[in-house]
Amino acid sequence: MSQQPPVRSTGSPPPRPDASMSLLTNVMDHALDDGYAEASARRDAQGGGLPRTLRTKLGLAAGLVLAAAIVTLGAAQAQISAPVVAKEREELIDRIQSETSTVDGLEKQIEALRTEVGERQREALQEHGGDQGQLVALLSGATAVQGPGVKLVVDDAKGSDEDGGGPRESSGFADTGRVRDRDMQRVVNGLWQSGAEAIAINGQRLTALSAIRAAGDAILVDNKPLVPPYTVLAVGDGKKLSTTFQDSADGHYLHALRENFGIRTSISRQDEVRLPAAPSLIVRTAQPGITGAGEGDGQGTAETGKGTS
């Protein structure tokens, strides 16, 4: 009995073992999303097919060329404007020098006029001062004077820039080792009261209207600053003037400054002292006043007093 070949089934083949993993298979076979692939292809098409490295180099070269153009343009503009700026600067310098020369000339004119006014005032004092013309000129500082007198030097204490020696306000003194304006006021007034006929501080002639003031740490005499040491020259009887001043209350004040706060002082008699005339002079006149019925004859008396405020 012959064997017949097996009959093959015409039905559907059996399912693959990995049929259930079709999603994972699809992800592995298409790792790059279609959208990314399309975008990459489109970018390559727009780039004209140039390699990415070449495009980067071209962009860098273009940036360098632009920067070089900007620098070159700036340098050209600076070179063009340099002569203009230099010319303006020279014109400004010339203008400043011209104005400075004008101011210097005006200051010289003012000084010359001030000197002329002072000379005429002194002549008027001598001409209309009567018998006491010379005395009035002396007391007002209108004329230079020379004669015997004393030399008094007052200086700050050593190291007075530092706060040392304690406060002096409680005793009416200055607050440090520096000489203050009120110290010089007492010194000058003490010399006047001791018999001085004329006084100058650092070459600055004092009059009955002179003022000693302070501006910060500086001492001003008639608004002109002085620097230490302060040299006070006084015309008078040297021996009597020196003794009387040192025995006075103002002399004791100066001695207390030296002993307690280190203010340096020295006084000496001088055979001859020369004092200049006051740089500015104020001339005032006095009129006789009526004192009242039955009191005197109606004649007033003008007195010249000394003192420094």
87 confidence band (pLDDT: 50, 70, 90): confident
What mean pLDDT do residues 198-212 have? 89
Specify the long-range contacts of residues 29-34, CB closer than 8 Å, at least 24 apart. Answer: none
Q: Looking at 215-284, list the stretches that DSSP marks H as alpha helix, in order from N- to C-terminal side.
A: 238-247, 249-261
Closest among 184, 270, 284, 187 to 226, alpha carbons compared:
184
Domain ranges of the chain: 145-275
What mean pLDDT do residues 30-42 have? 64
126 confidence band (pLDDT: 50, 70, 90): low
pTM (2 d.p.)? 0.53
116 confidence band (pLDDT: 50, 70, 90): confident
- For the four alpha carbons of 110, 115, 119 and 125, in that order, the dihedral sign comes to positive
201 confidence band (pLDDT: 50, 70, 90): very high
Question: How far is it, in rounded angstroms, from Cα 242 to Cα 139?
Answer: 20
| Per-residue pLDDT at 283 exceeds 90 | no
Please tell me what DSSP assigns to residue 288.
Answer: -
What mean pLDDT do residues 81-94 have? 82
What integer pLDDT is reported at residue 240 of this predicted model? 92
Q: What is the CATH architecture assignment of 145-275?
A: 2-Layer Sandwich (3.30)
| Per-residue pLDDT at 193 exceeds 90 | yes
What integer pLDDT is reported at residue 267 of this predicted model? 92
What integer pLDDT is reported at residue 20 of this predicted model? 57
